[in-house]
Structure 1
Amino acid sequence: MLVNAPESSSTTSTTKTAAPSSLSWQKILAISIASSLLLAAAFPPLNLFPLAWIAPIGWLLLIRTPVLPKRSYWILYLSGLLFWLTVLYGVGNAHWATRLFGWPVLCGYLACYTPLFVAISRVIVHRVRVPLPIVAPIVWTALEYFRAYFVTGFSLALLGHTQVHLLPMVQIAEFVGAYGVSFVMMLVAAFLVSSIPTIWNEPSHPPDPKVLRRIVLAFVAFVIAIGYYGFGYFLWDMNGMQEWGYRGDHHDENARSVRIGLVQGSIDTVFGDPTQSSRTFEQYTALTDHLAKAHPDLDLIVWPETTMGDHMVFELGADYAPPADLPIDVQEHKKRITDRANGFNGFLKDLAVNRWQAPLLLGTSALRYGNQRLDHYNTAIHVGHEGTIINRYDKVHPVMFGEYVPFGDYAPFVYDWLPIGGGLTPGKGPVAVDVEGVSLVPCICFENTVPQLVAGQVRQLHEQGHDVDALVTLTNDGWFWGSSILDLHLTCARFRAIENRRPMLVAANTGISAVIAPSGHLSQYSPVRKTTYLVAELYPTNRPLTYYTRYGDWFAAGCLVLTIVGGVAGWLIRRWKAQPPL
């Protein structure tokens, strides 16, 4: 077999004391920090994406090492923390509380995956005796999949996301999602590590003289990378993807296209500014005046998330019951709610019918008065030609520390420390927005960073008889003050387009607004923190659901199952043979 067998320690099955390691903690620190910095450089703002193919080599070398010194996993944790603090620095830009609490807590949690990757992989490699090129990509993919679901999930900055600038490298996502891209990259890196001699030699492990084997392993890594690129190019070209979303959209040439305007203002989020809501609404109405004048034939105008200022939906629920401490008469309270709802509806009619003469898809808030409770939704409302709300989408996946705090329902005082209020109420599910025969699926804010959510919404609507033609994201990225978080967010939108093979429209406050083809190509995109608008042309599509849309994360879930099996097997072997810790 060409792959190097795992290097065993000099201990026997009855020895309970680990052999000393020739690696000092200083070497561990240098190796792990190097991997973290190389991987961080592959992400925005530097975008040195080829580095991502070699960045994991340091961590893989530590997996291959027979014995690690004490405190190695703490050092690995620190290297992971350095990576996440660097890549997600912009998360803390909105408020001092997110800088001092949300940003470090989030990064501290994500940093756990680096030592977990090394530890689990070492158990399977050294105890179960499975070769590194098999173990590393499976465990890495499993952990990416796990963090996409754990505590509502966090799928920003996956390893495979670094390759979005070279489109043939990411086309496999229509079958296996971004996880498949990460798998291939880690596979190549593991073969490279297996092809190089051990940098440090244990006394019982002299240098491997089989140079030819190492050359062959390096060649295998090269062949995998080139073959993978070729297959991606085939997928890219097979359906005319190089036509940037026209021939590749599989639309009916006789079908009528629709024109959709995406409005981008530039209002950075400043908590405590009493003028921000009004300034935001005024800026967006002025921009839309220019858009409607320049393009009077629009079929839809889209505003980003929560850009309606103080104008919002008021709903009196059928289960309405006043709170016990209501200071006014119940009927008076109901009348005030109804009056505000009617006033808002009249306001929308004036905008859609009289001012812009076009249907609207607007990001706002919705307040629902129910049984002694007030539910607050992050909402997108579809306003038709007559100026009435046709339907609305309530965000189903709130952002951790941005819109809710884990276990905040059990410790509500935590919300008093943060600028996000009392948290959002999740919506019930997806909706289809019909625009002259073209069906759009809206999502809000960071929902488009959650691959299983978007694919699940498309699949659910398809099962309900709605053939989805395109995706649309309404997001307010003013929280991040023009930082590289905007680029990470856009990358996720591009992957959702590829995974589902549907165009993706993005209307983003402060940017980056975009029109994305099913290949992931940026047909149009806006500058960061500039006021502008884009006009997209969409057609109905006859493109079938992709494998990923139909079956979801089958591949990554399989990696998780294999990782659990391997980890349990390693634990049982250690107990059976009384082996020392690795």
Structure 2
Amino acid sequence: MSAMGVRAKRLALLLLGVAGTAGLLWLFGSQEPLWVSAGWVSLVPWLWVLDRATSRRETVLAGVAMGCAFNAALFGWFPGSLQSYSGAPLAVCWLAFLVLSPFMELQFITFALTRYHLRRTTEQSPRAFWRVTLTGALVYVGTEWVSPKLFAVTLGQGFIASESLRQGADIAGTHGLTLVLVIVNACVLEAGRVLMAHGVREGSRRALAPAAAVAALVLVCFGYGQFRYRQVATLEAPRQQLSVGVVQANITKYEKLAAEMGMYDVVRMILDTHYRLSAELLQNRKLDLLIWPETVYPTTFGTPKSDAGAEFDAEIREFVSRGQVPLLFGTYDLEQEREYNAAMFLGPGRNGALERSAYRKTMLFPLTEWVPELLDSQWLREWLPWTGYWKRGPGPQTMALQLGGGRAITVAPLICYESIFPGYVAEEARRGAELIITLSNDSWFSGTPALKQHLMHAAFRSIETRLPQVRVTNSGISALISPTGEVLAEVPDDHRASLAMTVPLSPRVPTLMVAWGDWLGPTALVLSGVLLLAPWVLARRKARQAVSS
């Protein structure tokens, strides 16, 4: 066979391995219990072709291809949503998405290069296998933690569909689940390779160590998950309960509606719809708290920009005063020409006055909500007219909400994108939060897997902090999430409904994620550096000693 034919065959084999892993990861990421087990072998096809690479160039190609395939498999909906938002041609959106994929999934490249290097510089032995496997897994997790990502995706999130396996996230977050998954996949590949090379009789003995590691890790994950699930579920005999009403009006694309109807009529329609749905809830049940979604009031509250805005502000205050129910809703907050995406709380206070407090969103989606000041310019605004003007809030905060009957609760407020950052939510939990409340606007992703993926992130934040969560969106998926990550109640996508939720407030359950934050990523980065540099340092020390002697 010619050299060109050999290269073509190797490329075809590489793409086949990448496609196999991408397909398994797509099944694993579907959040269906049937496909949870696919995660334990999902990387095997790619690892198999990766270990056949004969050069660093081929290794990098394998990493780049895997990053692109991974993003396409899990986020193939994003280019369409980007086109809908920006108006750019779909082909341009796909091109930008694929070009950026290797940078957003840099862990595939660094992992591939680490594995290539160690397999060629480490003497073949059982100890060498464990060094390659552990170092590679740490490099993967460390790189994933430090590299820029739009959606904070990691392999371990696929375990959300397993009641037991997802509970391990309270130790080291979803990165901890990823670390275990990468190690197990490497062990599965090694056991299979040994069996194929040496036959069943001899191979079984040689494959015993990696096979035992697979069994031990899987059993420990299941065992810990069952223990933790039962422990948390037992504590869910609540010391108190909250009755929380949520409104999902399914009114979307405010800008388009404003162009057709005028902004005044749009705000009028939005508020009237929320008043009506809220009144239906209040007629049937006494509520401790009423929640409307992100930017439901699409203008500044408290600092009106017009007479009409002042009238709307007064209406909302009158609604709260008349119903005597505290309201948390999404709006804009203005301070000295700096505008923030905010969650505003209004509650009946002393002497008939309303108490007001606000939380300002900090983690803004790049470009669409926020542009760094160093990049902001008239040229950029003209080229990308859909870029946002909001400013960043002060960081993780809690809100003390005064409820009826003299009761109070401390909540961890989150707005949309913030729910994908485990360290951010852990900091709010560390400040004494008893409940997570997330306001979101997912309308740009309606009808896509993004809605389930965003809900999945929210569920992991409840597991990591062991706090219940009320999630309210304008068009779906609104939900009540338990401290074990179970969705107890929900309003599906593209539905208009109001829902009363009974939220149990249980005793605080300590977790390592709350105590240490998102600790595994930086730890993995440091440990992988030590493991990679230690042999080189030892070799140089021995060389100096040999010269001096």
Structure 1: runs of 5 or more not aligned: 1-19, 242-246, 316-335, 462-466, 577-582
1:170 alignment counterpart: 166
1:31 alignment counterpart: 17
Residue from 205, 214, 219 that aligns with 1:212: 205
1:268–1:481: 8 Å Cα contact kept in structure 2? no
| Corresponding letter in the other structure for 1:399 | F
Q: Does 1:428 align with 2:397?
A: no
Secondary structure of 2:216 counterpart: helix
| Corresponding letter in the other structure for 2:486 | H
CA distance 1:118–1:475, shift in 2 (3 Å): same
Q: Does 1:440 align with 2:411?
A: yes
Secondary structure of 1:535 counterpart: strand
User: Partners of 1:421 and 1:134 in 2: how far apart?
Assistant: 42
| Corresponding letter in the other structure for 1:416 | E
User: Partners of 2:418 and 2:222 in 1: how far apart?
Assistant: 29
User: Partners of 1:34 and 1:561 in 2: how far apart?
Assistant: 32
Secondary structure of 2:492 counterpart: coil
> Deviation of residue 251 (structure 1)?
4.0
Q: TM-score scaled to structure 1, two decimals?
A: 0.78
Q: Does 1:529 align with 2:494?
A: yes
Secondary structure of 1:549 counterpart: helix
Q: Does 1:399 align with 2:399?
A: no
1:198-239 Cα shifts (integer Å, max 9, x gaps):
7999xxx99995442124522431232123211211111124
2:320 alignment counterpart: 352
> Deviation of residue 438 (structure 1)?
2.4
Q: Does 1:558 align with 2:523?
A: yes
Residue from 345, 355, 359 that aligns with 1:382: 345
2:24–2:39: 8 Å Cα contact kept in structure 1? yes
1:10-65 Cα shifts (integer Å, max 9, x gaps):
xxxxxxxxxx9997122112112211222122223777332222111123224544
| Corresponding letter in the other structure for 1:141 | V
1:321 alignment counterpart: none
User: Partners of 2:535 and 2:10 in 1: how far apart?
Assistant: 26
1:408–1:414: 8 Å Cα contact kept in structure 2? no
Residue from 281, 290, 315 that aligns with 2:280: 290
1:275-303 Cα shifts (integer Å, max 9, x gaps):
484344443333223222232x1111101
Secondary structure of 2:343 counterpart: strand
Greater shift, 467-476 or 121-130, is seen at 121-130
2:17–2:45: 8 Å Cα contact kept in structure 1? yes
2:141 alignment counterpart: 141
Ranked by relative contact order (alpha carbons within 8 Å, sequence separation 6 or more), the top structure is 1
User: Partners of 1:107 and 1:216 in 2: how far apart?
Assistant: 36
2:248–2:496: 8 Å Cα contact kept in structure 1? yes
Q: TM-score scaled to structure 2, two decimals?
A: 0.83
Greater shift, 516-525 or 38-47, is seen at 38-47
CA distance 1:288–1:67, shift in 2 (3 Å): same
| Corresponding letter in the other structure for 1:474 | L
1:379–1:392: 8 Å Cα contact kept in structure 2? yes
> Deviation of residue 377 (structure 1)?
0.6
Q: Does 1:269 align with 2:253?
A: yes
> Deviation of residue 479 (structure 1)?
1.2
CA distance 1:478–1:512, shift in 2 (3 Å): same
Q: Which residues of 2 match residues 240-279 of structure 1 at below 5 A? A: 241=233, 247-249=234-236, 251-252=238-239, 255=240, 257-269=241-253, 271-274=255-258, 275=261, 277-278=266-267, 279=269
User: Partners of 1:177 and 1:364 in 2: how far apart?
Assistant: 31
Structure with greater helix share of residues: 2
Residue from 308, 312, 328 that aligns with 1:361: 328
Equivalent pairs, count:
509
User: Partners of 2:329 and 2:109 in 1: how far apart?
Assistant: 44
CA distance 1:178–1:117, shift in 2 (3 Å): same
1:423-452 Cα shifts (integer Å, max 9, x gaps):
320111313132422221111001011101
User: Partners of 1:28 and 1:200 in 2: how far apart?
Assistant: 20
> Deviation of residue 547 (structure 1)?
1.7
Q: Which residues of 2 match residues 28-427 of structure 1 at below 5 A? A: 28-44=14-30, 48-65=35-52, 67-68=54-55, 70-92=57-79, 93=81, 94-97=84-87, 100-101=92-93, 103-104=97-98, 107=101, 109-127=103-121, 130-131=128-129, 132-147=132-147, 150=148, 154-197=150-193, 210-239=203-232, 241=233, 247-249=234-236, 251-252=238-239, 255=240, 257-269=241-253, 271-274=255-258, 275=261, 277-278=266-267, 279-295=269-285, 297-310=286-299, 312-315=300-303, 343=311, 345-354=313-322, 356-368=323-335, 370=336, 374-385=337-348, 386=352, 388-405=354-371, 409-418=375-384, 420-427=386-393
1:439–1:540: 8 Å Cα contact kept in structure 2? no
Secondary structure of 1:553 counterpart: coil
1:244 alignment counterpart: none
Q: Which residues of 2 match residues 10-29 of structure 1 at below 5 A? A: 24-29=10-15
1:174–1:547: 8 Å Cα contact kept in structure 2? yes
| Corresponding letter in the other structure for 1:444 | I
User: Partners of 2:536 and 2:103 in 1: how far apart?
Assistant: 24
CA distance 1:563–1:216, shift in 2 (3 Å): closer
1:314–1:341: 8 Å Cα contact kept in structure 2? no
| Corresponding letter in the other structure for 1:516 | I
CA distance 1:572–1:395, shift in 2 (3 Å): same
